[in-house]
Structure 1
Amino acid sequence: MTGRPAPAVLPPSLRARLGLVAVLAALVVAVLAVLYAGHSRPGRVDRWIILPTADSVRPPWRYVALAVDFLGEPAGSAMVVVAAVTGCLLLRRPRAAVLMVAGAGLAVGTATLLKHLVGRTIHGADNLSYPSGHTAFLTAFAFVAALLATDLLGLSRTAGTSLVLAAALVAGAAMGWAEVALGAHYPTDALGGWCTALAVVPATAWLIDRIADRIADRLADAGPRARR
């Protein structure tokens, strides 16, 4: 018999729906990348979106924006990831712990790579802006946390999908607002970062489950042979 050392990090009931979300998100990232490659000014969509700017956000909201922004900085992101991984291990969810690191890391890494490929800038040629790595990180973090909650609470397909997407939307909107309010990104940069996480995390979760299942199967097969 074969067994799994831990529950799947991507519940089977959510795979089809979140897989579709990942594909659509990847398309949005690609379209925006083509539209804004090499640009250094806000596009038409950015001008349509009415959001606070760096000149209009004053204390105390500026302090809120700075606090949210800190979560995407190396020190802040490391703190929340370490805390989350510790929680996953205490809850005996090692796959979720791996996804917390790999999902967030790959989302930020993908955003960084895209920045160099797209070449969109803000406030000077050295400030690459598309997509927002901060937004990608917090969205990925919330996505994984919601997947863990779905597993622990035993939510249905509809409830689980709703929770995951709602968590990702709230996290992405919060960080996107902070980045635009602080003048670090255009609104479409934040949208691109959000979609980057939605595309990367489900694929990473599926891959982790596949690898973990194969390892579990091999260990289960090796057990009877060792007792012979």
Structure 2
Amino acid sequence: MNGASAAVVLPSVLRAGLVGIAGLAAVVVVVLGALFAGDGRPGGVDARVRAVVDGVVPPRRDVALGLDFLGEPVGAAVLVLVAVVGCLLLRWPRAAVFVGVGVGAAVGVARLLKFPVGRTIHGDNLSFPSGHTAFLTAFALVAALLVAGRLGLGRAAGLVLVFGAGLVAGAAMGWAQVVLDAHYPTDALGGWCTALAVVPVVAWGVDRAGGSGR
């Protein structure tokens, strides 16, 4: 792989597929936000999913608490810092920028969406979309994109890696948030889709700012 290809954070072979996924994810976020705007109760799907995971006890509850910590400020900062330092050690400054901006943008958008949607849980706690789920999904997507680019994966293998990583991370954190009764399942879905919608756009923007966004 030549130096120019290694510098890109959104490989051209993955661009169309990820843009399509981002568009679908954005539609899901908008639809769910409209459905649950101003609501403070679980929907039908939420109630069914919560009934399945209700009553989780240690050690699975401890796993949920550990995953939840990764979405808290200290845990999230440690993950991002380690990734940024790793990118700098590899002499890939564009990737370091992508880690910080990509993850930060996904979490920021999730946080901003909470206010116009106004969905609540446990009183007046704004819940949609789940910022924890958006964070870990975004982190996994960013990491997988960088790995796919570094390895020079083709379209099919690259999309499987990136989408698969995002799916596993989102499902894990979403499960933790529901188990801990911090979010409704549809909040977690909204957070997952928020990350899917934001990260590819940020990747394109970082490449364009660096002169490789054609």
TM-score interval, smaller chain: over 0.9
Pick the aligned partner of 2:153 from 152, 155, 159. Answer: 155
Q: Gaps (5+ residues) in structure 2? A: none
* Whole-Å separation in 2 of the counterparts to 1:166 and 1:211: 27
How does 1:129-144 map onto structure 2 within 5 Å? 129-144=127-142
SS in structure 1 of the partner of residue 210 of structure 2: helix
Q: Which runs of 5+ in 1 are unaligned?
A: 216-228
CA contact (8 A) 2:9 2:145 kept: yes
Deviations 1:95-124 (A, max 9, x none): 221111111111111011111110000011
CA RMSD of aligned residues (A): 1.6
Larger radius of gyration between Structure 1 and Structure 2:
1
Matches within 5 A, 1:46-125: 46-49=46-49, 51-53=52-54, 56-125=55-124
**TM-score, normalized by length of structure 2?**
0.94
Deviation at 1:214, TM superposition (A): 7.1
- Give the match for residue 31 of structure 2: 31
Q: Following the alignment from structure 1 to structure 2, what is the Cα–Cα distance between the partners of residues 95 and 33?
A: 33
Paired residues in the alignment total 210
Amino acid at match of 2:181: G
List per-residue Cα deviations over 1:108-154 (Å, max 9, x = no partner). Answer: 110111111100000111x1100000000000000010011101211
Distance 2:150 2:5 in 1: 16
- Residue 58 of structure 1 aligns with an amino acid whose one-letter code is V
**What is the percent sequence identity of the aligned residues?**
64
Partner residue of 2:194? Answer: 196
Runs of 4+ in structure 1 deviating by more than 6 angstroms, as ranges, are none
Partners of 1:202 and 1:174 in 2: how far apart? 21
